[in-house]
Amino acid sequence: MKLCEFIRPTSLSEARDKLRELGPQGMALAGGTALHFLQDQTTRRAVDITRLGLSFIRKEGDFYVVGATTPLADIQRYRAPDWTLHEVCRRIATHQVRNISTIGGNICRVFPWADLPVVLLALDARMVVFSDKEEEIVSDEFFDGQPTQRFADGSLLTAVKVPLLRAHQGFGVVKVSRNSAAFSLVTMAVSLELDGEVIKTVRVAAGGAVPFPRRLPTVEAALVGREAKSEVFREAATKADSDVSWRGRESLSPDYVRQLAEVSLHDALERAVSFARARNA
């Protein structure tokens, strides 16, 4: 892809109008780290959205709201009660990339190895999209297909709303890669709520080893109402085949990846339960 022009709007409305005017020739741009993977020869005009006040992290009611152009490095450094995304972002790519790459760029065009869509699915996050007005889209709907389709009309992602973890809730994520800077082979994320030692609610999402990040409803059904213990986790992890078809990655066979996913899911469940138990004390 070749960029022939940088346009710097001063407001969201101006950016939206310019993208609508440009149509397929225009593209919203912040960090730009995904351009390396877009190998077509088309010429595009970039609408720079980095000066629109969309880089922030703040608590609003029951959510942490993260601006769409917030660099991953800022998310990694942020600390607050009930905050979880720093653990995810510290494992994405290298520090140099995290300084530039943004949360919006990471989720508006989803690559198979992307980590944040998996985590946001598990956490039941909401995406705030600006068109003629702001609209909140739940993660299940936002990641139902490639999100780029949502922005063809000039709409813009402005923020991501991540629910605060309440008492008795836990979160766990496991990412397996060949080295610290490599793309994910498998990413498994879990958020759950305990009632004593019984799993009251749970959301499980997978990525890396599947073509597109997705929830695992069969696994979730196998966990709800069950005691939070290792044998239950192992049994539930084997049911993931009902929800996804594992694919081989980097010379690894699909069967090996399936086993890797099951072990990773078990570990993510263990981490989420330990998190929740600590919050019950």
Residue 97 sits in a domain whose CATH number is 3.30.465.10
Q: Are residues 27 and 103 in the same domain?
A: no
Q: Do both 64 and 159 map to the same domain?
A: yes
Domain containing 96 equals 57-163
For residue 57, the 8-state DSSP code is E
Sheet containing strand 186-195, strands side by side = 169-176, 186-195, 198-207, 214-215
Q: What is the CATH number of the domain that holds 224?
A: 3.30.390.50
Q: Which of 143, 163, 183 is the last residue of a domain?
A: 163
Check whether residue 43 and residue 63 sit in a common domain.
no
Assess whether 159 and 114 both reside in one domain. Answer: yes
pTM of the prediction?
0.92
Give me the residue label for tokens 């990846």.
257
| Domain shared by 130 and 221, yes or no | no
Residues contacting residue 141 through CB under 8 Å, at least 6 positions apart: none
Task: Provide the 8-state DSSP code for 237.
Answer: H
Helix (H) or strand (E) holding 186: strand 186-195
Q: Are residues 137 and 80 in the same domain?
A: yes
CA dist 157 and 130 (Å) reads 6
168, 278 contact by CB (below 8 A): no
Q: Which residue among 141, 163, 185 closes a domain?
A: 163
pLDDT in tens, the chain (281 residues): 778 899 999 999 999 999 999 999 999 999 988 787 777 778 889 999 999 999 999 999 999 999 999 999 999 999 998 898 998 998 888 888 899 999 999 999 998 889 999 999 999 999 999 999 999 999 999 999 999 999 999 999 999 999 999 899 999 999 998 887 778 999 999 999 999 999 999 999 999 989 899 999 999 999 999 999 999 999 999 999 999 999 887 778 999 999 999 999 999 999 999 999 987 65
Which among 34, 1, 159, 41 is positioned nearest to 109, based on CA atoms?
Answer: 34
Q: Do 186 and 142 sit in the same domain of this protein?
A: no
> Tokens 């997705």 sit at which residue?
214
Q: How many domains is the chain built from?
A: 3
